[in-house]
């Protein structure tokens, strides 16, 4: 067992997209660490920048349309400084990625075997026979019952769950240290989702990999993650262990999200609704707490002018001081604004 | 009398094969489904993809050609087109779809989208129509300036609320909601679900709520049917289904819902794997020789499960339920 | 798969029968007759009447149709009224000419279109892409026969680089010389046909490449660490060529239609030119035979497209 160490250090990373000739930050000043043998969940709603973070780490953005700053330190190499050739040494070999839609993520015209062994073509010098054996081994590992048969099939011949298993097999083929899973179970049924998450966890244990699990589903996070980072409007607003974030959530956004979930104890009540909308990229305020407009009853003084992360417990950080004063309107018993 | 009574509904699609392209077999998308929806209630229809739940929903609106069985509304079988016409059925029953972007005509303004059912069924003057559309927008919490916008100018949640506004425009008795919130973010989902409940309280609408999300269904529905491979495997009240599930398929679905309770993570996982094991090992106990679910048998006045009588009773007594 | 192909062939039989009846009736419905004015302007009406009679042209249409079908099965399509020659022989000689021209045009078309489409799609928005797009728009706007007329005028008459008529020069001897002369004659019409034919393929291929470039499976390939040039080679090209491959069968139809223009402008003795001449001379036997051949080739083209598609796309498999 390797010692836990931060092999991935994301330092102050911002990614801006060009819209009508101007750059707008999709994620701003992200700081994150990932260790071996852990699952870090990044959770947030659509448009919060969680997928942008994943594609930034993978270097999948078109450089003509994006501006990236900061540092992604992967085992001592700053990935953001690499050219395409340099990046290709990491992609597939040391970093594997799993995508949301398992049908469109596979080439419809190639057999499964070909698609899995393609990774090994570029990162190993295995013989054709060794590659074939490894493909079968991988398909076994991700829980496919008849690997010989599946290897010969085309993507459209497989069910959604099977396809996602194939995608995972591709991602782990070269035993990467880091696996980025972007909404890996969103397109799947709950029973299949549970199986896929089990596969991911088993792989992480076997390979001692670090996994970044990107999802909007708080349930999935609570069941799988060791640590959690909650994102809102391009920023991390709360970060901590799964226990910290779920048992003692501090940031108003985290608390609001948990409260808007249909749960056992609010069967007959109305669900909590977060006021307003997420600001669009172009309308993101330059200063102040980005979540402030959605909790209008919290007085302006409670927010910081430039919200920073505050440590509330070892490893548990929250953005902006407003968390100290935050109560839901009905907790105060006052009328909402 | 129930609002809608669905009896032994079957929707089969033919499979053609062979040299002469003759019908050699059929896909049994819906294979003998019966349940009733009461006035003013939300009836949950739960299943995984391919279970036939959407096909059932479409049959109830009249969008699907039914192979056999009946859907009784006001004493007439609305699987026949002439009865639908006679009852003005499409006025009374509306539908909300999962994908709000593709179900709203992109070239029409919101005013026209919401007014469309009004124009089809109620012949209002221009001013009355506009007033009505504004009221509807107000009900779903959108401003008047939405009238002249196009669907793509709204967020997913807003569009879904426009879909709700359109569906309630004709004061329907029943709305079929096919996965109405599964494409939405959590906070937006809460908003749409609240609206659906509010409209139900105000107008006494019934919903057939079709979903794969057991968490949402628990929140919305009083009575629930679990569908699997074209058949119902269990029906009952919310309490029956969530607290006393009898069929292994129901148990399996329930066990797979991710829980937000971090502390009992391992216990939850262990129980899920245990249920999965039973599901894999005891197929022959829970399904007949063709792999289809058994006919439903009543175990309490509200609770029925698709199992042979003896097994059902045995399981029910284990669960501590009283035999009716 | 063979079963399905066989079934498709069987379905073609009633299609061909209906087609042949229609063609036959339409030819009959055309005004005029094959003898007035074509034999001898001073011909005696009684003699024309006699010719019509011995050729069975006064019989009821189904009688004539039946005779025609019976002859057809004996490989006899009748005699051309104009050339006084069996239709089979008449068409046979020209079919080869048309076939060579069509084949050559097709090869040239794909040879131009594939690299152009792929290049434009890959370097979307850059200068070469813009040039290719302008070229396709301009060509698209000009009717085919105008292209032909301008082409023959510039390269045939003004510059004199290519022959402007016929399929072979009269003094060609020896197989090498014959072959060279034939090739020389189809060069210009082939080039001009390809110039026109590339447009659709280039535009289609370009947008296919652009779509594939942004597809999820290309993103997957990139996240595997596959270098750009291999991504193009192994993923984008192949997937973009798929619809083009399927298009190949249909393009037979396009080429045959095009041959009518090309052969007329270049006085190239092929089926197209024969067709145009036969219409102006009311040469029923030839017209019916040609339309029937065109119709059958069309049906075969469609079938061919379906078969090609099922071979190249694993998602479409005919049992």
Q: DSSP letter string over C261-280? A: HHHHHTT--SHHHHHHHHHH
Strands (E), A192-252: 210-215, 227-232, 235-241
Residues of B in contact with A272 (CB under 8 A): 190
> A126 with A183: CB under 8 angstroms?
no
Query: Model confidence over C269-310: pLDDT tens digits?
Result: 888 888 888 888 777 778 888 888 888 888 888 888 888 887
Give the CATH number for residue C94: 1.10.3720.10
CB neighbour list of residue A225: distance below 8 Å, 6 or more residues apart: A39, A40, A41, A213, A242
Query: Model confidence over C169-212: pLDDT tens digits?
Result: 667 677 777 777 777 778 888 888 888 888 888 998 999 999 99
Query: Model confidence over C52-110: pLDDT tens digits?
Result: 777 676 777 788 888 878 877 777 777 777 777 888 888 888 888 888 888 888 889 89
Find the residue in C nearest to A99 (Cα).
C220
Torsion angle (degrees, nearest 10) of CA C105, C111, C112, C114: 130
pLDDT tops 60 at residue B248:
yes
User: Does residue A172 fall inside a structural domain?
Assistant: no
Calpha distance A306→C263 (Å, rounded): 78
Residues of C in contact with A170 (CB under 8 A): 220, 224
pLDDT at B269: 92
pLDDT at A332: 64
Residues of B in contact with C319 (CB under 8 A): 17
> B285 with B233: CB under 8 angstroms?
no
User: Does residue A327 fall inside a structural domain?
Assistant: yes
Six-digit token string for A158: 């497989």
Closest in A194, A258, A267 to B256, CB measured: A194
Six-digit token string for A325: 């004063």
The answer to whether the Cβ–Cβ distance between B19 and C319 falls below 8 Å is no
- The structural domain count of chain C equals 1
Calpha distance C73→C84 (Å, rounded): 21
Assess A226–B contact: CB distance below 8 Å, yes or no: no
pLDDT at A1: 37
- The structural domain count of chain B equals 2
Assess B22–C contact: CB distance below 8 Å, yes or no: no
pLDDT < 70 regions, chain A = 1-4, 266-267, 332-337
Min Cα separation C239/chain A (Å): 7
The answer to whether the Cβ–Cβ distance between A99 and C238 falls below 8 Å is no
Calpha distance B139→B164 (Å, rounded): 10
Q: Is the dihedral of CA B137, B142, B146, B150 positive or negative?
A: negative
Closest in A160, A191, A273 to B252, CB measured: A191
Average pLDDT over residues C207-224: 92
pLDDT tops 90 at residue C27:
no
Helices (H), C74-152: 87-122, 127-141, 144-151
pLDDT at A123: 94
Could you tell me the pLDDT band of residue C42, with boundaries at 50, 70 and 90? low
Min Cα separation C209/chain A (Å): 14
Instruction: Give the count of beta carbons closer than 10 Å to the beta carbon of residue B185.
Output: 22
Q: Are residues B215 and B254 in the same domain?
A: no
pLDDT at B121: 81
Report how far apart, in Å, the C-alpha atoms of C303 and of each of A29, A64, C21 are.
59, 45, 22
Query: Model confidence over A259-271: pLDDT tens digits?
Result: 998 887 766 778 8
Counted across chains B and C, CB pairs separated by less than 8 A come out at 4
Calpha distance B234→B35 (Å, rounded): 11
ipTM at complex level: 0.87
> A130 with A160: CB under 8 angstroms?
no
Strands (E), B38-144: 42-46, 68-73, 76-77, 93-96
User: Does residue A321 fall inside a structural domain?
Assistant: yes
Could you tell me the pLDDT band of residue B140, with boundaries at 50, 70 and 90? confident
Three-state DSSP at C75 gives coil
Q: Are residues B39 and B78 in the same domain?
A: yes
pLDDT tops 70 at residue C140:
yes
Q: Tell which of B180, B219, B241 to mutate to test the A interface (max A CBs under 10 Å).
A: B219
The answer to whether the Cβ–Cβ distance between A271 and B194 falls below 8 Å is yes
Give the CATH number for residue B45: 3.40.50.300
Residues of C in contact with A167 (CB under 8 A): 220
Q: Are residues B273 and B211 in the same domain?
A: no
* H helix or E strand, kind and range, residue B8: strand B4-17
Q: Are residues B264 and B324 in the same domain?
A: yes
Closest in A90, A104, A123 to C215, CB measured: A104
Torsion angle (degrees, nearest 10) of CA B4, B9, B13, B15: 170
Phi, psi at residue A227, to the nearest 5°? -125, 155
Calpha distance C253→C255 (Å, rounded): 5
User: Does residue A271 fall inside a structural domain?
Assistant: yes
Six-digit token string for A316: 């548990």
pLDDT tops 80 at residue B133:
yes
User: Does residue C259 fall inside a structural domain?
Assistant: yes
DSSP-assigned letter for residue C235 = I
pLDDT at B77: 92
Structural domain harbouring B119: 4-243
Q: Are residues B90 and B13 in the same domain?
A: yes
> B33 with B56: CB under 8 angstroms?
yes
CB neighbour list of residue B253: distance below 8 Å, 6 or more residues apart: A190, A191, B46, B48, B214, B226
> A48 with B186: CB under 8 angstroms?
no
Residue where the block lists tokens 């993809």: B49
Q: Are residues B202 and B156 in the same domain?
A: yes
Six-digit token string for B132: 């009505």
User: Does residue A306 fall inside a structural domain?
Assistant: yes
pLDDT at A79: 94
Residues of C in contact with B17 (CB under 8 A): 319
CB-facing half-sphere around the CA of A185: CA atoms within 13 A = 24
Q: Are residues B110 and B152 in the same domain?
A: yes
Do strands B42-46 and B22-37 pair parallel, antiparallel, or not at all (unpaired)?
unpaired
Assess A262–B contact: CB distance below 8 Å, yes or no: yes
Q: Are residues B129 and B273 in the same domain?
A: no
Q: Are residues B40 and B149 in the same domain?
A: yes
Min Cα separation C228/chain A (Å): 9
Find the residue in C nearest to A87 (Cα).
C225
Assess B24–C contact: CB distance below 8 Å, yes or no: no
- The structural domain count of chain A equals 1
Residues of A in contact with C224 (CB under 8 A): 91-92, 118-119, 122, 170
Structural domain harbouring A285: 247-332
User: Does residue C178 fall inside a structural domain?
Assistant: yes
Q: What does pLDDT average to over chain B?
A: 88
Q: Are residues B272 and B191 in the same domain?
A: no
Structural domain harbouring C99: 89-266
């Amino acid at each position: 067992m390797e010692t836990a160490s931060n092999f991935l250090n994301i330092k102050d990373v911002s990614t801006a997209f060009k819209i009508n000739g101007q750059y707008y930050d999709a994620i701003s000043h992200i700081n994150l660490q990932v260790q071996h043998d852990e699952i870090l969940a990044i959770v947030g709603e659509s448009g919060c920048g969680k997928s942008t973070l994943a594609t930034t780490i993978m270097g999948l953005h078109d450089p003509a349309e994006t501006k990236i700053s900061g540092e992604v330190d992967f085992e001592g190499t700053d990935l953001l400084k690499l050219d395409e050739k340099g990046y290709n040494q990491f992609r597939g070999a040391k970093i594997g990625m799993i995508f949301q839609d398992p049908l469109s993520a596979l080439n419809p015209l190639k057999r499964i075997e070909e698609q899995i062994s393609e990774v090994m073509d570029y990162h190993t010098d295995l013989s054709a026979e060794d590659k074939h054996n490894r493909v079968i081994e991988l398909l076994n590992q991700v829980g496919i019952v008849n690997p010989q048969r599946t290897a010969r099939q085309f993507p459209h011949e497989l069910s959604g769950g099977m396809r996602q298993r194939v995608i995972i097999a591709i991602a782990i083929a070269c035993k990467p240290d880091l696996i980025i899973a972007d909404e890996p179970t969103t397109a799947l049924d709950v029973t299949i989702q549970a199986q896929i998450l089990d596969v991911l966890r088993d792989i992480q244990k076997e390979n001692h990999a670090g996994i970044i699990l990107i999802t909007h589903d708080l349930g999935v996070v609570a069941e799988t993650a060791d640590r959690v980072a909650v994102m809102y409007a391009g920023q991390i607003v709360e970060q901590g262990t799964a226990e910290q974030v779920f048992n003692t959530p501090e940031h108003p956004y985290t608390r609001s999200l948990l409260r808007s979930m249909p749960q056992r104890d609010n069967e007959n009540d109305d669900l909590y609704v977060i006021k307003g909308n997420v600001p669009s990229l172009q309308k993101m305020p330059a200063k102040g707490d980005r979540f402030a407009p959605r909790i209008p009853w919290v007085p302006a003084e409670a927010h910081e002018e430039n919200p920073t992360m505050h440590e509330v417990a070892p490893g548990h950080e929250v953005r902006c001081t407003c968390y100290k004063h935050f109560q839901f309107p009905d907790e105060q018993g006052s009328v909402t604004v | 009398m129930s609002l809608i009574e669905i009896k032994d509904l079957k929707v089969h699609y033919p499979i053609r094969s062979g040299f002469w392209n003759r019908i050699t077999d059929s896909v049994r998308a819906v294979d003998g489904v019966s349940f009733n929806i009461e006035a003013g209630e939300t009836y949950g229809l739960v299943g995984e993809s391919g279970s036939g739940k959407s096909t059932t929903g479409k049959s109830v609106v009249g969008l699907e050609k039914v192979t056999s069985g009946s859907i009784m509304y006001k004493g007439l079988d609305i699987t026949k087109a002439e009865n639908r016409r006679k009852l003005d059925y499409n006025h009374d029953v509306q539908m909300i779809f999962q994908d709000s972007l593709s179900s709203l005509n992109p070239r029409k303004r919101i005013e026209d989208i919401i007014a469309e059912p009004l124009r089809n069924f109620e012949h209002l003057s221009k001013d009355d129509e506009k007033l009505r559309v504004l009221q509807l927008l107000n009900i779903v919490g959108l401003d008047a300036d939405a009238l002249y916008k196009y669907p793509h100018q709204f967020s997913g949640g807003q569009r879904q609320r426009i879909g709700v506004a359109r569906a309630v425009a004709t004061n329907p008795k029943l709305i079929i909601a096919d996965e109405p919130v599964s494409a939405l973010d959590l906070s937006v989902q809460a908003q749409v679900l609240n609206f659906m409940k509010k409209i139900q309280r105000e107008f006494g609408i019934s919903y057939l709520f079709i979903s794969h999300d057991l968490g949402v269904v628990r929140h919305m529905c009083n009575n629930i049917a679990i569908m699997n491979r074209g058949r119902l495997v269990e029906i009952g009240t919310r309490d029956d289904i969530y607290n006393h599930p009898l069929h292994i398929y129901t148990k399996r679905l329930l066990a797979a819902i991710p829980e937000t309770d971090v502390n009992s993570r391992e216990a939850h996982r262990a129980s899920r794997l245990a249920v999965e094991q039973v599901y894999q090992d005891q197929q022959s106990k829970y399904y007949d020789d063709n792999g289809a679910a058994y006919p439903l048998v009543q175990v309490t006045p509200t609770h029925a499960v698709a199992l042979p009588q003896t097994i059902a009773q045995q399981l029910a007594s284990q669960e501590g339920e009283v035999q009716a | 798969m063979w079963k399905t192909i066989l079934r498709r062939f069987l379905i073609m039989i009633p299609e061909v029968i209906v087609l042949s009846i229609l063609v036959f009736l339409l030819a009959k419905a055309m005004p005029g007759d094959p003898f007035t004015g074509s034999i001898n302007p001073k011909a005696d009406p009684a003699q024309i009447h006699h010719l019509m009679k011995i050729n069975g042209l006064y019989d009821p249409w189904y009688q004539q149709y039946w005779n025609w079908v019976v002859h057809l099965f004996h490989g006899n399509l009748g005699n051309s009224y104009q050339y006084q020659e069996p239709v089979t022989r008449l068409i046979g000689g020209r079919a080869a000419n048309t076939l060579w021209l069509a084949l050559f045009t097709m090869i040239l078309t794909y040879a131009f279109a594939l690299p152009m489409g792929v290049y434009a799609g890959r370097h979307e928005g850059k200068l070469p892409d813009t040039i290719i797009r302008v070229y396709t728009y301009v060509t698209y706007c000009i009717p085919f026969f105008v292209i032909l007329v301008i082409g023959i005028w510039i390269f045939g008459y003004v510059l004199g680089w290519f022959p402007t008529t016929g399929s072979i020069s009269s003094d060609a001897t020896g197989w090498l010389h014959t072959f060279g002369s034939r090739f020389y004659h189809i060069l210009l019409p082939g080039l001009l046909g390809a110039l026109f034919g590339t447009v659709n393929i280039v535009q289609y291929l370009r947008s296919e490449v652009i779509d594939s470039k942004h597809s999820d499976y290309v993103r997957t390939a990139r996240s595997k660490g596959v270098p750009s040039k291999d991504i193009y080679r192994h993923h984008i090209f192949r997937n973009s060529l798929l619809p083009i491959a399927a298009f190949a069968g249909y393009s037979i139809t396009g080429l045959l239609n095009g041959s009518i223009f090309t052969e007329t402008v270049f006085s190239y003795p092929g089926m197209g030119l024969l067709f145009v001449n036969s219409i102006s001379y009311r040469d029923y036997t030839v017209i019916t035979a040609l339309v029937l051949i065109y119709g059958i080739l069309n049906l075969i083209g469609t079938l061919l497209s379906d078969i090609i598609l099922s071979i190249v796309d694993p998602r479409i498999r005919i049992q």
